[in-house]
C-alpha cells in the first residue's frame, strides 16, 4: 500500500468514526438526561401538583370497620375520657363562609373545670388563623379570647387536626348533616385521630379521617 493511499484510508476512517461517535452522543443525551436535568424535571412536575398543606382537599373517608376499631382503641386506652363531641353544622358553615377559608382546624381545648372541648377554627391557605367574634362549643358559644385560653389550657401532645372544606361539604351538603359528630380515636399505631360523621345517623357507614395533625404541621396566629 502506498503512503498516499494509507493516509487517505486513515482520513476516511477518522471521519466515519467521528460521525458514529457524534450520533451515539446525541442518542445518549436524548435518552439519558443528566442527574441534574432529571432532578429539575421532577421538581417542576411535583411542584405543579402541590397545592399546599392547608388546602381544601385534606381529609378522606375511611370504612366503618377501621373507624370502629380505632374508636375502640381509644376507649380501651381511655375508659373514663370523653369519647365524642358534637358541633352544630351552622357554626361550620359560618366559618366556611369566609372566602379565605380553605379548611377548619379542630382544636383540643380544656375549660376552667377541666372538661374537654373540640373548637372549630378556620384557616387560610397559608395556615393562618381566621379570627371570629365567637367560637362554637357543644354547650353554646364562647368569645374569641376565651377560646384561646381554653386551647392554651390543653396539655396533650397533639393540639389539633386540620380538615379541608371538601371534608365538611361531604358531611354538610352531601349528607345534609345538621350536626357533626367528632369521635376520638387511636389508629393502629396509637396516633390520635378525630373521626367525623353525621351525628343524626347512629351507625354511619363511613367516617371522615386523614386530617393533618399539629404537630408536626401547625397553624399560625
Residues 95 and 198 occupy one common structural domain: yes
Half-sphere exposure of 87 (CA within 13 A, CB side): 28
Phi then psi for residue 63, to 5 deg, are -75, 160
pLDDT at position 51 is 56
In a domain, 118, yes or no: yes
- Cα–Cα distance, 134 to 143 (Å, whole number): 4
45 and 68 fall within a common domain = no
Q: Name every residue whose Cβ is closer than 8 Å to that of residue 179 and which is 6 or more positions away in sequence.
A: 86, 87, 88, 89, 198, 199, 200
CA 51, chain centre distance (Å): 10
Contacts of 121 (CB under 8 A, 6+ apart): 95, 104, 105, 107, 129, 130, 132, 135, 147, 219
pTM above 0.85, yes or no: no
Residue 205 cell numbers, joined: 357507614
The answer to the question of residue 71 being in a domain is yes
What is the C-alpha R_g of the chain? 29
Q: Do both 33 and 95 map to the same domain?
A: no
Are 109 and 199 found together in one domain?
yes
Query: 41 with 131, same domain?
Result: no
Q: SS3 for 169?
A: helix
Question: Each residue's pLDDT tens digit in the chain (221 positions)?
Answer: 444 444 344 444 443 334 334 333 333 233 333 333 322 222 222 222 335 799 999 999 999 999 999 999 999 999 999 999 999 999 999 999 999 999 999 999 999 999 999 999 999 999 999 999 999 999 999 999 999 999 999 999 999 999 999 999 999 999 999 999 999 999 999 999 999 999 999 999 999 999 999 999 999 87
Assess if residue 206 is contained within a domain: yes
Residue 21 lies in a domain: yes
Q: Which helix (H) or strand (E) holds 60?
A: strand 60-63
Are 74 and 42 found together in one domain?
no
Prior bond of 215 cis (ω within 30°):
yes
Q: Looking at the domain assignment, is residue 55 inside a domain? A: no
Examine residue 220 and state whether it is found in any structural domain, yes or no.
no
Q: Same structural domain for residues 169 and 126?
A: yes
Q: For residue 27, what pLDDT is reported?
A: 31
Asked whether 74 and 194 are in contact (CB, 8 A), the reply is: no
- Residue 45's domain spans which residues? 3-49
Same domain for 77 and 120: yes
* In-domain check, residue 54: no
Of 133, 190, 120, nearest to 162 by C-alpha is 120
- What total of structural domains would you count in the chain? 2
The residue among 130, 135, 134 whose CA lies nearest residue 117 is 135
Residues 97 and 187 in one domain: yes
pLDDT score for 44: 23
Is 106 a member of any domain?
yes
Do 70 and 142 sit in the same domain of this protein? Answer: yes
Do 44 and 70 lie in one domain? The reply is no
Q: Residue 126's pLDDT is what?
A: 95
12 and 121 housed in the same domain: no
Amino acid at each position: 500500500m502506498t503512503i498516499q493511499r494509507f493516509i487517505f484510508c486513515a482520513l476516511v476512517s477518522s471521519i466515519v468514526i467521528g460521525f458514529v461517535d457524534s450520533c451515539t452522543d446525541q442518542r445518549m443525551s436524548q435518552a439519558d438526561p443528566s442527574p441534574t436535568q432529571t432532578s429539575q424535571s421532577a421538581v417542576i412536575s411535583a411542584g405543579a401538583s402541590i397545592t399546599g398543606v392547608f388546602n381544601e382537599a385534606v381529609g378522606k373517608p375511611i370504612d366503618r370497620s377501621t373507624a370502629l376499631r380505632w374508636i375502640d382503641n381509644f376507649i380501651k386506652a381511655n375508659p373514663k375520657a370523653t369519647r365524642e363531641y358534637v358541633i352544630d353544622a351552622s357554626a361550620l358553615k359560618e366559618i366556611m363562609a369566609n372566602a379565605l377559608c380553605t379548611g377548619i382546624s379542630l382544636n383540643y381545648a380544656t375549660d376552667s373545670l377541666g372538661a374537654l372541648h373540640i373548637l372549630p377554627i378556620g384557616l387560610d391557605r397559608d395556615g393562618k388563623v381566621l379570627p371570629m367574634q365567637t367560637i362554637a362549643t357543644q354547650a353554646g358559644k364562647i368569645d374569641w379570647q376565651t377560646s384561646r385560653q381554653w386551647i392554651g389550657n390543653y396539655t396533650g401532645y397533639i393540639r389539633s387536626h386540620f380538615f379541608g372544606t371538601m371534608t365538611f361539604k361531604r358531611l354538610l351538603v352531601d349528607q345534609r348533616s345538621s350536626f357533626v359528630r367528632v369521635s376520638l380515636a387511636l389508629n393502629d399505631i396509637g396516633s390520635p385521630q378525630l373521626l367525623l360523621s353525621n351525628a343524626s345517623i347512629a351507625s354511619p357507614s363511613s367516617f371522615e379521617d386523614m386530617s393533618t395533625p399539629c404537630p408536626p404541621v401547625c397553624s399560625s396566629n
